[in-house]
């Protein structure tokens, strides 16, 4: 490391000792060829399967905490109480049983729809934000980028989120691919053109 007041390395001609502006290939005083300045680029590191798996668990817990009040709101205990009382009888009336189950089916559908929207917005908004990661990925020092290392858009984050459906369709092999591919890409990363990098 240079001492205070000493000339910065690489800014002086090694032949005549004169100062040379940055970016010049020839010394302006003696005409000697200057050596090119090489820059060290740190190798990129990527989030592997197990690190990403733990991040998914963290995110799933957080989303479940958010969705729990929604489930309680749409499926109050009284719906189950009615079904239990009818199931305890020897000969339940099918009409009454169907009438009791209809609100439960409707509530289940609403919860499923809300869950899809919440999970989508949670991942797409955080991944496309300045943080470039969900809470789980942030906790484990990861962020999602495009192939050039740039922040991705909300549209691409949305595509990546729903591409996970394809990753899970074939026995979760699309997710397992993150443990074996060169840049630790899962199938949905290949589909969306993204990388999960370590900070």
* 90 HSE (CA, 13 A, CB side): 0
Q: How confident is the model over 140-146, as a mean pLDDT?
A: 97
What lies within 8 Å, CB to CB, of 132 at 6+ separation is 143, 144, 145, 151, 152
Q: What is the pLDDT of residues 80-106, one digit of tens each?
A: 666 666 666 666 667 766 766 777 788
- What is the structure's pLDDT at 106? 81
Q: How confident is the model over 70-88, as a mean pLDDT?
A: 69
| Sequence spans of domains, the chain | 1-39, 49-198
Closest CA to 191 of 175, 182, 36: 175
Model confidence band, residue 75 (pLDDT cutoffs 50, 70, 90): confident
pTM of the entire predicted model:
0.71
Across the chain, mean pLDDT equals 83
């Amino acid at each position: 490391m240079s001492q205070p007041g000493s000339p910065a390395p690489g800014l002086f001609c090694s032949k005549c000792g004169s100062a040379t502006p940055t970016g010049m290939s020839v010394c302006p005083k003696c005409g000697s060829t200057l050596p090119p300045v090489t820059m060290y680029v740190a190798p990129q590191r990527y989030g592997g399967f197990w690190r990403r798996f733990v991040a998914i668990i963290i995110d799933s817990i957080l989303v479940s905490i958010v969705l729990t009040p929604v489930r309680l709101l749409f499926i109050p205990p009284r719906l189950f109480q009615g079904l239990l009382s009818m199931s305890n009888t020897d000969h339940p009336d099918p009409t009454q049983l169907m009438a009791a189950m209809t609100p439960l089916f409707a509530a289940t559908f609403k919860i499923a729809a809300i869950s899809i929207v919440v999970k989508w917005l949670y991942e797409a908004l955080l991944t496309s934000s300045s943080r470039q990661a969900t809470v789980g990925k942030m906790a484990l020092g990861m962020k999602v980028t495009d192939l050039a290392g740039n922040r991705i858009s909300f549209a691409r984050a949305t595509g990546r989120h729903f591409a996970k459906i394809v990753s899970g369709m074939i026995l979760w092999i699309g997710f397992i691919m993150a443990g074996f591919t060169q840049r630790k890409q899962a199938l949905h990363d290949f589909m969306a053109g993204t990388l999960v990098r370590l900070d």
